[in-house]
Chain A
Amino acid sequence: GAVVSQHPSWVICKSGTSVKIECRSLDFQATTMFWYRQFPKQSLMLMATSNEGSKATYEQGVEKDKFLINHASLTLSTLTVTSAHPEDSSFYICSARPSLVGGEQFFGPGTRLTVL
């Protein structure tokens, strides 16, 4: 149980284009989902917290107009990187927290974004 999927697993795009990444909780409902980015050999950096049906809460320094987050249902959240640039190239990971369980977050497999 507690499986989180992400799609796509990797994406290469041209500078200036937008990329959408999906995060799904497959066997549980997630009131809260989190989006992280991770650079090579570094820790996870929280970008934003999204609650189903409400606006995402962004961490300091994260541009909300650039990283659009939508959490339309209890099993799906999307991250759209708008007008991507090479510096946005990173490993993006989502996590989901089951609604009725305290604390535990279950992570997706990550999405490798490369912007040319």
Chain B
Amino acid sequence: QQQVKQSPQSLIVQKGGISIINCAYENTAFDYFPWYQQFPGKGPALLIAIRPDVSEKKEGRFTISFNKSAKQFSLHIMDSQPGDSATYFCAASRRNNRLAFGKGNQVVVIP
């Protein structure tokens, strides 16, 4: 059972555009929602994370929007650059337990 569902599966964005990836979760007990960025042949790197007590968190060009009532959260990459081309995974966990990962989203930023 997929606890965290990601969409779209892949995304092509023009340089300078906004990349938006969405995640939906089922378990209302989840209290930690990170996004990871992974380049081919590398391990995932924590990009940004949010807890359900806030609706938005911004770090540089990356923003998480969190909608608790809809059980959804999204990653926005502003001013997308070719170097942002990677696979992005959303995840969720409950009280320091293991992370439930989404299936991943491949983002390609074209010059």
Contact = CB atoms under 8 A, between A and B. Distances in A.
Interface of A: 4, 6, 32, 34, 41-44, 46, 49, 91, 93, 95, 97, 102-110, 112
Given A104-B34, A107-B36, A44 B42 contact: no
Contacts of B49: 103-104
Contacts of B46: 104-107
A116 B53 CA distance: 50
A103 B30 CA distance: 11
14 contacts: A42-B104, A43-B103, A43-B104, A44-B101, A93-B43, A93-B44, A102-B96, A103-B49, A105-B99, A107-B36, A107-B43, A109-B43, A110-B42, A110-B43
Contacts, number: 52
B41 A112 contact: yes
A107 B44 contact: yes
Contacts of B101: 43-44
A49 to B, nearest CB: 6
B61 interface: no
A97 B34 CA distance: 13
A112 B41 CA distance: 8
Interface of B: 31-32, 34, 36, 41-46, 49, 51, 89, 93, 96, 98-99, 101-104
Contacts of B51: 103
The 5 A-B pairs at the shortest CB distance, nearest first, are namely: A103-B32, A107-B43, A110-B43, A109-B43, A107-B44
Contacts of B98: 34, 46, 49
A23 B56 CA distance: 33
A108 to B, nearest CB: 5
B89 A103 contact: no
Nearest to B103: A43
